[in-house]
Structure 1
Amino acid sequence: MQKKFINPETLPATFGCSHVVEVSNAKRTIYISGQVAINADGHIVGNGDLGTQTCQVFENIKVALEASELNFNDVVKLTFFLTDISQMAIVRDIRDQYINTNNPPASSAVEVNKLRFLLTKI
């Protein structure tokens, strides 16, 4: 799989994501969704703590990627759902511990009304 990360100079600067990620020669596509701060035992991790919950979400994504023999360098798009988008900087700081910050995936963030005991979902 070949990836090309594109950030046209005529678009505004991004905050840790790419405007465009072009994928070619991909033999397979893996979709991972609905990752929340619930551990393998089914318990919520980090009740009320966005940083701890975000770490758990990224660890869950890591497990899902490894199950497909992939890693975060293979991720081309992330969609974040947060109950308080003003806290996105916390999520970005943790995200940057996992992704390739030189060629970050395309990303979107959406504020949602509630996630029932959870603060973020990716």
Structure 2
Amino acid sequence: MSKEIFSPATLPPPVGYSHVAKVTGTLVYVAGQVSSDASGQLVGEGNLEAQAEQVFKNLKLAIEAAGGTMADIVKMNVYLVAEVDQAEVPKFRAVRDRYINTANPPASTLVVVSRLARPGWLIEIEVVAAID
């Protein structure tokens, strides 16, 4: 398995993500994770920071179950509900930065959506990991 994560100088400089993740080998796709605990209960109702923490815990559990680590994430898609104030986004980023490789962050997309599948969920994240 080899992976190269980079941002070409010909693209705008990224902040907190990389533009390109080139992978040769085994890819693991992790379904969108939300702020539910192992029993299915919502964690952090109305609190983006608490929900982001639970989402990243769930992502970590899923990737470790596949034999990888959070440093193996090469692509991340984040879905945030529109009711979340943009001033709250730095709280999400602070949680994210405790879990990902900030020196070489994954290629990422953040999308604002009208709602998620269950009322109360504020954030959902899906990832792709390249595991050796």
Measure how far apart 1:85 and its partner are.
6.8
Quote the Cα distance in structure 2 between the aligned partners of 1:99 and 1:31.
Answer: 16
Matched, 1:101 2:111: no
Name the TM-score, length of structure 1 as normaliser. 0.93
Gapped regions of structure 2 (runs ≥ 5): 126-132
Aligned to 1:48: 46
Aligned Cα RMSD in Å?
1.2
Q: Which structure is higher in strand share? A: 2
The alignment partner of 1:82 has SS state of: strand
Quote the Cα distance in structure 1 between the aligned partners of 2:12 and 2:27.
Answer: 29
Measure how far apart 1:8 and its partner are.
1.3
Aligned to 1:5: 5
Deviations 1:48-73 (A, max 9, x none): 00000000000000010111111111
Deviations 1:41-100 (A, max 9, x none): 110000000000000000000010111111111110000000137232221111110011
Matched, 1:121 2:119: no
Runs of 4+ in 1 over 4 A off after TM superposition: none
Number of corresponding residues: 120
Q: What letter corresponds to residue 30 of structure 1 in structure 2?
A: V
C-alpha contact (below 8 Å) 2:6/2:104 kept by paired residues: no
Aligned to 2:22: 22
Name the TM-score, length of structure 2 as normaliser. 0.86
What is the identity percentage for the equivalent residue pairs of Structure 1 and Structure 2?
Answer: 43
C-alpha contact (below 8 Å) 1:37/1:54 kept by paired residues: yes
Q: What letter corresponds to residue 117 of structure 1 in structure 2?
A: G
C-alpha contact (below 8 Å) 1:85/1:111 kept by paired residues: no
Quote the Cα distance in structure 1 between the aligned partners of 2:56 and 2:48.
Answer: 12
Q: What letter corresponds to residue 71 of structure 1 in structure 2?
A: T
The alignment partner of 1:97 has SS state of: helix
Quote the Cα distance in structure 1 between the aligned partners of 2:3 and 2:28.
Answer: 15
The alignment partner of 2:99 has SS state of: coil
Measure how far apart 1:39 and its partner are.
0.1
Quote the Cα distance in structure 2 between the aligned partners of 1:120 and 1:85.
Answer: 12
